[in-house]
Amino acid sequence: MPGAAEYFAALLDDREQAAMVADLRTVVARAPLFSPRTRFGKPMSVRMTSTGRYGWYSDQRGYRYERAHPSGQPWPPIPESVLSVWRLLVGGTRQPDCCLINFYDGAARMGLHQDRDEADFSWPVLSISLGDDALFRIGATTRGGPTESLRLRSGDVLLLSGAARLAFHGIDRTYPGTSSLLPNGGRINLTLRVVD
Ligand code: MD3
Ligand code: FE
């Protein structure tokens, strides 16, 4: 993987994963998953919601962080089970402003993109995978360069900093039926970010 992408395979055990999913159920009850629309008006196949001071949002006007869920309600707080992973790997100097929750059904994908809606790229992005396995792809900081693929499993954590923070990346597919964490299947990815 590119410089400063750190991969912590199976960092979270089954009990920690189950506790996180229980916390996320509370979040989704208050801030339901929705399908953001791209700038071109097409709904994304990944459903999303957020926790924290900011949530990620997209519509015809483009990609941005918003202070409220589309319902108008503020985003719920980031669960303690999730914050503790950030403290372990990033430290306690600053809390993340946003935990984006991505839900993938068996058909959902995420095309190659960069994460550059945040003000300060010197803060890392932390990603937690839960549920079905996924084929993750990461490349260089320019589009069209060589890429590497990595199968992400439930409980795996990625920390992206340095050059990797601006690397193109995406999810090519998930592997339905590879995890029993979520009774109805699917994959959840959490990304923790400092926004401003
Ligand atoms: C590399 N999520 O939410 S997680 C995203 O599995 C996103 O849902 C994917 O890309 C998912 O923006 C990939 C791994 C990841 C997350 C953030 C990154 C890789 C990254 C930021 C910069 C570089
Ligand atoms: Fe991303």
Domain encompassing residue 189: 5-193
Q: Which residues line ligand 1 (CB under 6 A)?
A: 100, 102, 110, 115, 125, 127, 136, 138, 158, 160, 164-165, 167, 169, 171, 189, 191
Asked whether residue 3 carries a pLDDT value surpassing 80, the answer given is: no
Of all ligands present, the nearest one to the C-alpha of 156 is: 1
At 87, give phi and psi (nearest 5°): -60, -40
Q: What is the pLDDT of residue 155?
A: 99
Ligand 1 pocket mutation, candidates 50, 54, 127, criterion most atoms within 8 A of CB: 127
Structure pTM?
0.98
Read off the pLDDT of each residue in 30-55 and give the average, rounded to a whole number.
97
Any idea what the CATH number is for the domain that residue 14 is in? Answer: 2.60.120.590
If one counts the domains in the chain, the total is 1
Q: What is the pLDDT of residue 2?
A: 67
Read off the pLDDT of each residue in 29-53 and give the average, rounded to a whole number.
97
Q: Whose CA is nearest to atom 8 of ligand 1?
A: 189
Q: Whose CA is nearest to atom 19 of ligand 1?
A: 169
Q: Whose CA is nearest to atom 16 of ligand 1?
A: 127
Question: How do residues 174-189 score in pLDDT, each as one tens digit?
Answer: 999 999 999 999 999 9
Asked whether residue 34 carries a pLDDT value surpassing 90, the answer given is: yes
| Chain mean pLDDT for the chain | 97
At 14, give phi and psi (nearest 5°): -60, -40
Task: Return the ligand 1 atom nearest residue 138 CA.
Answer: 1
The least confident of 1-5, 75-79, 189-193 is 1-5
List the structure tokens of 186. Answer: 């699917």
Q: What is the pLDDT of residue 35?
A: 98
How large a percentage of the chain has pLDDT more than 70? 98
Ligand 1 pocket mutation, candidates 90, 115, 153, 174, criterion most atoms within 8 A of CB: 115
Q: If we measure between CA atoms, which residue out of 147, 138, 126 comes closest to residue 190?
A: 126
d(CA 14, CA 27): 20
Predicted ipTM? Answer: 0.98
At 79, give phi and psi (nearest 5°): -60, 145
CB 86 within 8 Å of CB 128:
no
Measured in Å, residue 114 CA sits from the centre of ligand 2 at 6
CB 75 within 8 Å of CB 55:
yes
Q: Whose CA is nearest to atom 14 of ligand 1?
A: 127
List the structure tokens of 31. Answer: 């801030």
Question: How do residues 102-159 score in pLDDT, each as one tens digit?
Answer: 999 999 999 999 999 999 999 999 999 999 999 999 999 999 999 999 999 999 999 9
DSSP bridge pairs for 48? 34, 102
Question: How do residues 48-75 score in pLDDT, each as one tens digit?
Answer: 999 999 999 999 999 999 999 999 999 9
